[in-house]
Structures are given as structure tokens and as C-alpha cells.
Structure 1
Amino acid sequence: MTITMYGITNCDTIKKARVWLESRDVPYRFHDYRAEGIEAGKLNGWVGKVGWEILLNKASTTFRELADKDKQGLDEKKAKALMLAKPTMIKRPVLELGDRVLVGFKPDVYEQAVK
């Protein structure tokens, strides 16, 4: 099973998740949103699996700095457009394990997922 972690390098949660995986010798590939962006097809796939409400990080600095008009009337289409334009609004990490998608870092969930 190929594992890919999506996020940004300087995120504290990403750092914790990476340490967790590496300390258990779990091989993974890291995809940095800032350096590589995110493809619409990939984002659409995640939204289909976990929902845009889970993926959109309303607590992120990027989201909080948006104009009020951009935050109002959020629906799937608007949320996806925001996340594609500024991928740092996507909750971190997103972990792809084959056809499964995990959002956020919870050691107990990771433990079950990588068995």
C-alpha cells in the first residue's frame, strides 16, 4: 500500500504525524501544498470521500484572513474553489492509504490504518 501525506512542511501537526510514521518505519511520500499545489481531481476525490466540511480548515490563518464575503454562503463549490486557490486552507495532514483518506492526525486512528 502506498501512503501519501499531504500538507505543508512547517505545520506542527504535520511534524507530529511525520515523526509518528517515521518512528514506526512506515514508508510514505510527502506532498507539500506550497511547493506542489493540489489538483482539482484529487480534491474532488477527497471531498467525495470525507466531505468538504471536514477538509476546509476554518481555523487556519489563511481562512481567517479571508474577506467576510468569501467566508459567507459557503457550499461545496465555493469551498473547493477556496481550497484550490489556497491549499493551506485544507486541514492537515491528509493521509492517502490506497483508496482510503484520513484527515487530521490521531495516533490511534493511524495505528489502525497502517496495520
Structure 2
Amino acid sequence: MIVYGISTCDTTKKAVKAIERAGLPVIFRDIRANPLTRDEIDAIVTEFGSRAVNKQSTTYRSFSDFLRESEPEAQIAAQPTVMKRPVIQTETGWHLGWDAEVEAALLG
């Protein structure tokens, strides 16, 4: 399982800790230190569409009008931290965020 996020994101840290406590193997991928590839961005946006972008974030609000009107792929490529976090990739699919539903799906 791969958890995509940033090391300073409390929600991402909470997800990684819960997954580790459950004894599941997890790879944390800091998208700031190790940026997403074009293919990874495309896969995330294909799965989640515009929901992959956190439109309440300070990063999104700082975007120019042009970038706000751009496709989610362009927004994430321009500033990866605008991606809603965490994005979790498993062998069977993708999950966005960390809430009770995602936790139940991953940890049972």
C-alpha cells in the first residue's frame, strides 16, 4: 500500500500510523520531496476527478484565475500540495482522504 501525502500533513500522519498499527505494510510517499510523475497524476485524477484537488486549501486560494480554471492535472502538476491528502493506493484500488469509511475499507 502506498500513501501519497506530505510529511507535515496531520491527516496523512494519522493514516500512516493507523495502517502501521494494524500491521499492514505501508510505503509513505512524500509528494513534496519526491514529486508525482505525470502518469501518477493522471491515475489519481482519473480515479477521483476534481475531488483530487483540495479547493479549501490555502494553496488553491493562492492560485491565479488561470490556474483555478485549469484541469486538476495542471493544478496538481503546478503545485502538488494542492492535492487532497492522503491518496492511498492499494492492490485493489484507490482511496481519497482519511475518514471512518476509508479506515474501515482498509483496516476492516
TM-score, length basis structure 2:
0.89
2:57 maps to amino acid: S
The root-mean-square deviation of aligned C-alpha atoms, in Å, is: 1.6
1:8 maps to amino acid: I
The 5 A counterparts of 1:1-115 are 3-51=1-49, 53-71=50-68, 73-74=69-70, 78-115=71-108
Q: Distance in 1 between matches of 2:61 and 2:16?
A: 26
Q: Among all aligned residue pairs of Structure 1 and Structure 2, give the percentage whose two residues are the same amino acid.
A: 31
Q: Could you tell me how far 1:109 is from its partner in structure 2?
A: 2.3
Q: Which has the higher contact order (CA 8 A, sep 6+)?
A: 1
Find the residue that maps to 1:5 and give its secondary structure.
strand
Q: What is the CA deviation profile of residues 27-68 of structure 1, one whole-angstrom value per residue up to 9, with x for unaligned ones?
A: 1001101100001111111222222x1101111221111123
Q: Distance in 1 between matches of 2:76 and 2:2?
A: 19
Whether the 8 Å CA contact 1:20–1:107 is kept in 2: the answer is no
TM-score, length basis structure 1:
0.84
Whether the 8 Å CA contact 1:37–1:87 is kept in 2: the answer is yes
Name structure 2 gaps, 5 residues minimum. none
Q: Could you tell me how far 1:9 is from its partner in structure 2?
A: 0.2
Q: Distance in 2 between matches of 1:35 and 1:54?
A: 23
